[in-house]
Structure 1
Amino acid sequence: MISAAAPLFATDVYRRRLERAAAIGRDAGLDALLVTPGPDLRYLVGSRAESFERLTCLVVPTDGKPASVVVPTLELASLKGSAIADLGLPVHEWVDGVDPHTLVTDMLPAGARVAVTDAMPALHLVPLAERLRSVPVLATAVIRELRMIKDDAEIDALRRAGAAIDRVHARMPELLVAGRTEAEVADAISAAIVEEGHTGAEFVIVGSGPNGADPHHEVSDRVIETGDIVVIDIGGPVEPGYNSDSTRTYSMGEPDARIAEQYAVLEDAQRAAVAAVRPGATAESIDAAAREPIAAAGLGEAFVHRTGHGIGLSVHEEPYIVAGNRTVLEPGMAFSVEPGIYLRGAWGARIEDIVVVTEDGCEPLNTRPHGLTVL
């Protein structure tokens, strides 16, 4: 028996998500969706179960029959706090010695065409494919259509996450101090992330001086010096699991004129990209809006990554704001806008806000100043 502890959102939210997932899957010619632990399972039923060698799987038929859950008795407690009990979903327990993959496929019609979540380990995908005698397709196209459009409760969670990470950036004068190593600063920031309302620090990037020219530099034992430009990219989840992600760039003392001039170009690029966000625009058009000012200033080759990524239960999810992505923006989509310039061996800078598409534009969820903050 699964505890009926309060799920992350109201039960009807999860019921609608399951119904919608089944409908989209049916329209795609699928017989069922198979969802193992990960963000998709959390999205559909609120379960925080983790993936182990024993199979836990949500089976979502597309023919109108109720979804059901296959779970090892040993890990039944992992479903507590989800919406599974309130939804009344059948739960099929299994113990060691039982073949759980056959338990799943026996629920499906002969020759079933199924889709699996992209978080499914090969440890389970391969046995399921063997029993189905076919290779499942990815459920990404089905699930992303749901997860890309945030509802009001999700947007509220993202707002709270954005405000929480803004409070951490506001504390940089006490956290980012010359004479400390990047690792020491990162430890202080990680503690502040939790103090300001996150359940943990998902990532902390402290890129000082030449390390700032590496967009995915994390931390090192380099001592931060007066005169350094420092990239601080931080984020983490707030309950019920929705993430923050915000980058600001700091100057340890007054920057020289050339750096200030180039940083101003980055500010223009980030401002232009946010201004371009509206329903009907494409993801790639936002990327183009960010690149135009940077390229015009002769810094195009210094902008080495996409302009943004979707955010929610995952830090990186659809829609990706990148050239070639013709996804049309709709109200409720949430993503980062984060152009950067990176001058190898010298310094780097990035400005990142999370925005939510509204009916007539967008709502930025981060409100800290975008300028090169002097500490």
Structure 2
Amino acid sequence: MADPDTGAPSATYAARLESAARLLSGQGIDALLITPGPDLQYLTGSTMSSFERLTCLVVPATGQPRMIVPRLEVAALRGTALDDLDVAILPWIDGEDPHGMIVEAIGPDARAAIADAAPALHVLPLQARLGQPLALATDVLRELRMIKDEAEKAALRQAGAAIDRVHARMGEFLRAGRTESEVAASITAAIIEEGHTGAAFVIVGSGPHGADPHHEVSERVIARGDIVVIDIGGPVPAGYFSDCTRTYSIGEPDPAAAERIAILEEAQARAVATARPGATSGQVDAAARDHLAAHGLSEYFVHRTGHGIGLSVHEEPYIMTGGEQVLREGMAFSIEPGIYLPGEWGARIEDIVILTADGCEPVNRQPHRLTVLPG
């Protein structure tokens, strides 16, 4: 059976649960406690939301996993991959003690690792009842989630192609006289039209706003001569995310700005060329950062070069200065150096890449150069 939300076969989730259990003993952990969020989706396909009522998948190092879930949410599990998995469904009703059910399942002295998406509303009561401090499940699951299987790679390629189609339409949306928020509304609609289930983020940084890497949108009116950073992404039906940034000029750009953005383009290309199995995350970062430094632009590059991507927009591995993570085939991450001149303009170029046996495959194919749009 395939999960209706993700399309992945139940056997995929069964294998992931088995792999997670095997990893536990090697890390001195007795059980994983996985509340709704990306980890639960990865292990079971469930896209349930987290509420004040506790839902928690308990994955022991040995024995049968259990899903502790409010009775009124049980119907949401029917017809999903959980129907075929060897997971006991343990419903509870208001007035009962779901935190106590977890402690009973794993033992009061168990060493447990909890999902980083778990609300404090549930973390604190559980910690109060356990004799051992809770650890983070990320430390266990990173090894699984960092290496994408073929279905995950296919979903990332689908997401990359979908967001490329939005960038290819930017001339429809981005022009002088429109506000950033008006452009963002048009882009949001296009993200859905081109195959995403929604827009996770839309950054339209025009003129001096482009110098803020995480500027979103404002009522600033875009003017002729502006440099504009467009950073957009969202999930496709399988739950995997796109994330792609391109930089545009409204009319012909200032020559000095165009020259600096060409240097940024080369820095991004050098980082992509460095990304291969056996390299470290720090080496990929340095490939971009050193090129910018050689042209006197390093002070304007104020963030890491990239981040992993999958069921979360930001996940491991992180591509940053001094990073020691050795890259492996199947990892997927962004490569997105930028330069930001306070009060003037900013620029960023971002692709998602998937590591192959001897290099990397960018899933974004739109031109990297500064794209000039009619003023």
How high is the TM-score relative to the length of structure 2? 0.97
Q: 2:57 and 2:16 mapped to 1: Cα distance?
A: 13
- Contact 2:33/2:58 (CA < 8 Å) preserved in 1? yes
One-letter amino acid matched to 1:33: L
Task: Write the distance in 2 (CA, Å) between the matches of 1:309 and 1:57.
Answer: 27
Aligned position for 2:332: 334
Q: Establish whether residue 361 from structure 1 lines up as the match of residue 366 from structure 2.
A: no
SS of residue matched to 1:218:
coil
SS of residue in 1 equivalent to 2:214: coil
Query: What is the SS of the residue equivalent to 2:248?
Result: strand
| Structure 2 residue 39 is matched with structure 1 residue 40 | yes
Distance 1:5 1:205 in 2: 32
Off by >4 Å, runs of 4+ in structure 1: none
Q: Counterpart in 1 of 2:368?
A: 370
Give the one of 204, 224, 227 matched to 1:226.
Answer: 224
**Alignment equivalent of 1:306, drawn from 288, 304, 307:** 304
What is the 5 A alignment of 1:58-77?
A: 58-63=57-62, 65-77=63-75
In the alignment, the residues of structure 1 paired with residue 76 and residue 123 of structure 2 have an alpha-carbon distance, to the nearest angstrom, of 21
Give the superposition deviation at 1:97: 0.5
Alpha-carbon contact 1:46-1:81 (below 8 Å) kept: no
Mapped contact 1:33–1:61 kept (Cα < 8 A): yes
Query: 1:215-364 counterparts in 2 under 5 A?
Result: 215-364=213-362
C-alpha distance in 2 between matches for 1:126 and 1:194 = 38
Listed one character per residue, the Cα deviations across residues 223-268 of structure 1 (whole Å, up to 9, x for unaligned) are: 0000000000000000110000000000001112111111111011
Shift in Å at residue 133 of structure 1?
2.8
2: distance between equivalents of 1:87 and 1:159? 28
Cα distance between partner residues in 2 of 1:318 and 1:369: 27
Q: Is the 8 A contact 1:5 1:80 kept in 2?
A: no
Tell me what 1:23 maps to: 22
For 1:181, the equivalent position in structure 2 comes to 179
Please report how far the alpha carbon of residue 79 of structure 1 lies from its aligned counterpart in structure 2 after TM superposition.
Answer: 2.5
Distance across 2 between alignment mates of 1:155 and 1:310: 13
Mean CA deviation greater in 320-329 or 222-231: 320-329
Task: Give, in whole Å, the separation in 2 of the partners of 1:158 and 1:215.
Answer: 24
Q: Aligned pair 1:159/2:157, yes or no?
A: yes
User: What is the aligned partner in structure 2 of residue 94 from structure 1?
Assistant: 92
Give, in whole Å, the separation in 1 of the partners of 2:83 and 2:64.
13
| Corresponding position of 1:211 | 209
Q: Specify the alignment match of 2:13 in structure 1.
A: 14
Question: What amino acid is aligned across from residue 283 of structure 1 in structure 2?
Answer: S
Query: Partner of 1:169 in structure 2?
Result: 167
Deviates more, 1:297-306 or 1:132-141: 132-141
Greater mean deviation of Cα atoms: 237-246 or 255-264: 255-264
Q: Is the 8 A contact 2:64 2:87 kept in 1?
A: yes
> What does the per-residue CA deviation read over 1:56-107, in whole Å, with 9 as the maximum and x for residues that have no partner?
00000102x1211000011223324532111131100000000000011101
Q: Secondary structure at the match of 1:243?
A: coil
Q: Distance in 2 between matches of 1:210 and 1:242?
A: 32
Q: Secondary structure at the match of 1:335?
A: strand
Q: Residues 20-52 of structure 1, C-alpha deviation per residue, up to 9 Å, x if partnerless?
A: 111111110111111000000000000011111
Identify if the C-alpha distance between structure 1 residues 171 and 295 changes in structure 2 by more than 3 Å, giving closer, same or farther. Answer: same
Q: In the comparison of the two structures, how many residue pairs are matched?
A: 372
Unaligned runs of at least 5 residues, structure 1: none
Q: Percent identity?
A: 64
Judge which range, 217-226 or 320-329, deviates more: 320-329
Matched, 1:84 2:82: yes
Match for residue 195 of structure 1?
193
Partner Cα distance (1:41, 1:82) in 2? 13
CA distance in 1, matches of 2:172, 2:78: 40
The separation in 1 between residues aligned to 2:2 and 2:319, in whole angstroms, is: 39
Q: Is this contact kept in 2: 1:4–1:80, CA < 8 A?
A: no
Aligned residue for 1:354, secondary structure, equals strand
Structure 1 residue 110 displacement after superposition: 4.4
Partner letter of residue 295 of structure 1?
A: A
Q: Tell me how far apart the structure 2 counterparts of residues 263 and 214 of structure 1 sit (CA, whole Å).
A: 16
Q: 1:268 to 1:333 in 2, by over 3 A?
A: same
CA distance in 1, matches of 2:320, 2:79: 37
Q: 2-side partners of 1:309 and 1:77: how far apart? A: 36
2:130 is aligned with 1:129: no
- Judge conservation of contact 1:309–1:335 (CA < 8 Å) in 2: yes
Shift of 1:4: 8.8
Identify unmatched segments of 5+ residues in structure 2: none
Q: What's the C-alpha RMSD, in Å, of the aligned pairs?
A: 1.2
Q: Which whole-Å CA distance do the structure 1 matches of 2:81 and 2:44 have between them?
A: 5
- 1:183 and 1:7 mapped to 2: Cα distance? 31
Cα distance in 2 between the residues matched to 1:4 and 1:318: 27
Distance in 2 separating the partners of 1:263 and 1:5: 44
TM-score by length of 1: 0.97
Structure 1 81/269 Cα, relative in aligned 2: closer, same or farther at 3 Å? farther
